Structure 1
Amino acid sequence: MEARILWADDEIDLLKPHILFLEQKGYEIDTINNGADAVEMVDEKHYDIIFLDENMPGLNGLETLAKIKDKNQNVPIIMITKSEEEYIMEEAIGGQISDYLIKPVNPNQILLALKKNLLKKDLVSQKNSHDYQVQFRQIGMRLNDRLDVDEWSEIYQQLVNWEIKLEESSDEGMKEIFAMQKKDANNQFCRFIDDNYANWVNGDEDAPLMSHQLLKERVFSSLGEEPVFLIVIDNLRYDQWMVLKPLIGEFFNVEKEEPFYSILPTATHYARNAIFAGLMPSEIEKRYPKLWLNENDEGGKNLHEEELLAENLKRNNKKIKMSYNKVVKLDFAKKLVERFHDLLQNDLNVIVYNFVDMLSHARTEMEVIKELADDESAYRSLTVSWFNHSPLKEIFKKIAEKGIKTYLTTDHGTIRVENPVKIVGDKYTNTNLRYKVGKNLSYKAKDVIESTNPEAIKLPKENVSSNYVFAKENDFFAYPNNFNYYANYYKDTFQHGGVSLEEIIIPFVELSAK
């Protein structure tokens, strides 16, 4: 049996040819000639889909629709009507119909409506799998070329789009093929970073837009005439932006969507300080020693972002009024919404929202969060759920209502780690799992991207023998002592600080209110 259908129409006898046609196609059909009996039938049987005539005597189609939806919210209902009046369609759509047809209908229209509503997921899955097979070859060929920074951004965006499309697919083999291609892309991207990063941060004309250049190159030119909002969601990957995009699209048009490259390490106290300071970490340390803390210094490493931003504005002759707001607690976010009107007095309002970063850490430490975000798809879904119920959504809504130009970005991304790599360091070595900085570090050079001269990549050098090493792809560092315990504990957690497409290529978006 293809599916069980309930068809309610006061002229059901005239539809006998349609019924026979569908029965020959394998569908089981119950017919009824009024809305009240249709509601009772829904109580008695499970139906995969319901055809509902809009113009029935007694309980009409719209009233029947409402009563059926009260009993079964999820059953697809196709409204069939003689009328094309707008208010009927608005009420039907508001009542959550899945589709509608205008009389007279022919059997093929009915069959098409059934396939569209009952088999949509399978049909989309099949088409996505077929289309990806074609793209797989093209992406694979491009990965063998010498790609530049823009081409790598384009490849990564393609991979993100396919990952989201394929997540609903029932074709597990195709998902495995995609995972292998993404791993291959990450492997080659790590080589690309290793070969070029030092040149980029020292002025190479082929360098991408990077963290320390972002505000000067993309935001400062908009300051001074009207208020501007800059919203920085910590640790927001490109795929998370893609699933938030339709939600933010309720209030804003996306004027420009541009990937940029996070600096190394892809960790908050390096990348976000660089964004606000407009300088690389070693330059911040030299120019503003009181505003920079190294790995072994006590205290929070991101406590001076507001001061660094103020200095950045001053260096660029931006004499404006600005506010800086870092949201780490729900109460503060709610208060920010309440005092939104006060923010309109500023030329620039910066809001740093820390939820996504806290989510990745919580997933490591709390089993219940790990279950909720079991894989990449669930991690994206949890991001959507958070945004839909967060004060940040209300902030976006209020900004849009005032028609204010807004920029959305992040400081770095994150990657789900799988493969432990052994490293040895002294007690002063930092604890991050994706990068290590210290002296006398011991590791296999083939397993990491290393910098024995931090000054060459504009990172602070705490002592003469300090060097940095970065984990590649989905690796993470673990010490030989109690190796198996920590390898198992941190495997399948989201981490950042190293080198991968997910951590480095991140979104910068310009929004205009609808």
Structure 2
Amino acid sequence: MSNIANILWVDDEIDSLKSQILFLENKGYQVSALTNGHDALEYLKDNIVDVVLLDESMPGITGLETLAGIKALHQHMPVVMVTKNEAEDVMEDAIGSQITDYLIKPVNPNQVLLSLKKIIDNKRLVAERTTTAYQQDFRNLFMALSSNPDYNEWMDIYKKLVFWEMEMGKSDSPEMQEVLSTQKSEANTEFSKFISRHYEDWVHPRSTESPIMSHTLFRFKVAPHITGDKPLFFILIDNLRFDQWKAIQPVFSESFRVLEEETFYSILPTSTQYSRNAIFAGMLPVDIEKRFSQQWKNDDEEGGKNLYEEEFLAAQLKQLRLGDMRFSYTKVTNHQDGQMLVNSIHNMMDYQLNVIVYNFVDMLSHARTEMEVLKELASDETSYRSIAASWFEHSPLHQALKKLAGKDVRLIVATDHGSVRVKTPHKVIGDKQTTTNLRYKHGRNLNYDANDVLAFRDPSAAGLPRPNVNSSYIFAKGDGYLCYPNNYNHFANYYRNTFQHGGISLEEMIVPVVRMVSK
């Protein structure tokens, strides 16, 4: 240990523990010993202690009474209860009073040492082990990136990078975090090349196999689980990245058991208007425009771009020969909608399929760009995940799902696209009809550096409608974002380190679809 930890051991038979105390002192701990709860509480008023080892059965005030006094003085003080009493009610009282660990006498020195290490040294030991394990896996990831991965292997690479990113959050090693960040950036560079080579073949499959994408998600990952015996809830949380799913998964796991955790590919542009309409229509945007010409709106047209999802879904269900099935469709875009969902979710048990579209994470992403306070709260990937997890835990969506706990339901959670933290501005010149999106643009006279973007001069090659004659699309790669030359420095600085979507990155394109059942 780098710093000496101070231990207070309280036991009315403290003399019998001298050999144990000596053992701990030889391991580098500073141990103070007292024989009753009154003295312990007086001692803790004036002395700094890292952990209290507390006997449960003592004359005067009991260990549980002493524990209550300790928590009143220092709410977060780690306390290890050491007792001969194996009675279940005593254990439950101690656990309910938020003890940190529970040891049954007689304890051997190594048991006590292990408990102290878990409490005091846990963070350091986990950090050291995480750093070592990532160093060992670094080469495996490097080799995977160098071996021309296919679309399945790219999903595995991204999941592994997310795993290490979340594990590295437990580490205090900025150097290793920087190494991981660099490796992730290199992965995104290679991924952008991969998408540039294969995307057109995916949306126009000939002989090549294509992954499950937005427009095939419902057909392959939702429809097969619609049955008559129990209701299916398909919950689409807008703009939910895979790492954010991993952050909220523990809350889901309280009530639901994960059967299948997979990823799929969002179509381009990785934005709600395109990818979410594609999910519900079961079609690429170019085909949605042809079949639903009145409902489809291009970026430069007035009106809402996602107003007809329920109509698109009904048409897809009919195409899948599920047209006679009763389904519900609920979209939540504000807190009032969320409360209505909480109040009405029990009525949805009568439907075979219940679709719930929840818009919070996308609002968070856009609000973070505009609000200085959120830029502080979500300054990096870790805090962005943390805010998403905190939102979900206290959200109406979580309240509604808790009402389903214990009921016999199926649950599929997915998203339409993710987002990426942008850092590198690229200049783009266009006419007045050019769209304003930061991660993709379409227009008639776009001027750009071909190295910065993936360009489709023929939008139909990417499965996209042609808004105007001679319109072409460009998509930013990796952490790039597209700025006009006018007032370039202002916009480059304003949007740097904000979370955006619409372009090509692992974070935007490889997104979760998770199947669960109630416990």
TM-score, normalised relative to structure 1? 0.98
- Alignment gaps of 5+ in structure 2: none
**1:219 and 2:222 aligned:** yes
- Structure 1 counterpart of 2:107, from 99, 105, 108: 105
Q: Matched residues in 2 for 1:208 and 1:222: separation?
A: 19
Q: Which residue of 2 aligns with 1:413?
A: 418
- AA in 2 matched with 1:471: A
Q: Which residue of 2 aligns with 1:151?
A: 153
**SS state at 2:429 partner:** coil
Q: Is the CA contact 2:12–2:59 (under 8 Å) kept in the aligned structure 1?
A: yes
| Pairwise CA distance, 1:115 | 1.5
Q: Which residue of 1 aligns with 2:457?
A: 452
Q: Tell me which moved more, 75-84 or 146-155.
A: 75-84
**1:230 and 2:234 aligned:** yes
Q: Matched residues in 2 for 1:190 and 1:121: separation?
A: 36
Q: Is the CA contact 2:241–2:512 (under 8 Å) kept in the aligned structure 1?
A: yes
- Structure 2 counterpart of 1:257, from 245, 258, 261: 261
- AA in 2 matched with 1:186: N
Q: Which residue of 1 aligns with 2:476?
A: 471
* Correspondence list, 1:392-431, <5 A: 392-431=397-436
Q: Matched residues in 1 for 2:343 and 2:73: separation?
A: 39
* Correspondence list, 1:268-287, <5 A: 268-287=272-291
- Structure 1 counterpart of 2:44, from 26, 42, 45: 42
Q: Which residue of 2 aligns with 1:82?
A: 84
- Structure 1 counterpart of 2:9, from 7, 10, 16: 7
Q: Which residue of 2 aligns with 1:298?
A: 302
Q: Is the CA contact 2:151–2:211 (under 8 Å) kept in the aligned structure 1?
A: yes
Alignment root-mean-square deviation, CA:
1.2
| Pairwise CA distance, 1:426 | 1.1
**SS state at 1:297 partner:** coil
- AA in 2 matched with 1:433: L
**SS state at 2:411 partner:** strand
**1:369 and 2:374 aligned:** yes
- Structure 1 counterpart of 2:243, from 236, 239, 242: 239
* Correspondence list, 1:9-28, <5 A: 9-28=11-30
Q: Matched residues in 2 for 1:493 and 1:195: separation?
A: 28
Q: Which residue of 1 aligns with 2:271?
A: 267
Q: Deviations over 1:95-136 (max 9, x none)?
A: 222212221122222222212210100000000000000100
**SS state at 1:459 partner:** coil
- AA in 1 matched with 2:99: I
Q: Tell me which moved more, 68-77 or 454-463.
A: 68-77
Counting aligned pairs with the same residue, the percent is 52
Q: Which residue of 2 aligns with 1:313?
A: 317
- Structure 2 counterpart of 1:493, from 491, 498, 504: 498
| Pairwise CA distance, 1:19 | 1.8
Q: Which residue of 1 aligns with 2:338?
A: 333
**SS state at 1:302 partner:** coil
Q: Matched residues in 1 for 2:170 and 2:112: separation?
A: 26
**SS state at 2:350 partner:** coil
Q: Matched residues in 1 for 2:162 and 2:502: separation?
A: 20
Q: Is the CA contact 1:8–1:52 (under 8 Å) kept in the aligned structure 2?
A: yes
Q: Which residue of 2 aligns with 1:380?
A: 385
Q: Is the CA contact 2:346–2:404 (under 8 Å) kept in the aligned structure 1?
A: no
Q: Is the CA contact 2:330–2:355 (under 8 Å) kept in the aligned structure 1?
A: yes
Q: Matched residues in 2 for 1:340 and 1:479: separation?
A: 46
Q: Is the CA contact 1:291–1:308 (under 8 Å) kept in the aligned structure 2?
A: no
Q: Matched residues in 2 for 1:348 and 1:63: separation?
A: 53
| Pairwise CA distance, 1:433 | 0.2
TM-score, normalised relative to structure 2? 0.97
**SS state at 1:203 partner:** coil
Q: Matched residues in 1 for 2:60 and 2:354: separation?
A: 58
Q: Tell me which moved more, 309-318 or 16-25.
A: 16-25
Q: Which residue of 2 aligns with 1:128?
A: 130
Q: Tell me which moved more, 20-29 or 367-376.
A: 20-29
**1:198 and 2:203 aligned:** no
- AA in 1 matched with 2:81: M
Q: Which residue of 1 aligns with 2:141?
A: 139
- AA in 2 matched with 1:291: Q
- AA in 2 matched with 1:175: Q
| Pairwise CA distance, 1:347 | 1.7
| Pairwise CA distance, 1:224 | 4.0
| Pairwise CA distance, 1:31 | 1.5
Q: Matched residues in 1 for 2:30 and 2:346: separation?
A: 59
Q: Matched residues in 1 for 2:26 and 2:193: separation?
A: 59
| Pairwise CA distance, 1:30 | 1.9
Q: Is the CA contact 2:10–2:40 (under 8 Å) kept in the aligned structure 1?
A: yes
Q: Matched residues in 2 for 1:349 and 1:508: separation?
A: 16
Q: Deviations over 1:221-261 (max 9, x none)?
A: 22240211110000000000001111100000000011000
Q: Which residue of 2 aligns with 1:207?
A: 210
- Alignment gaps of 5+ in structure 1: none
| Pairwise CA distance, 1:66 | 2.2
Q: Is the CA contact 1:233–1:353 (under 8 Å) kept in the aligned structure 2?
A: yes
Q: Which residue of 2 aligns with 1:436?
A: 441
Q: Deviations over 1:192-216 (max 9, x none)?
A: 0000000011125421110100111
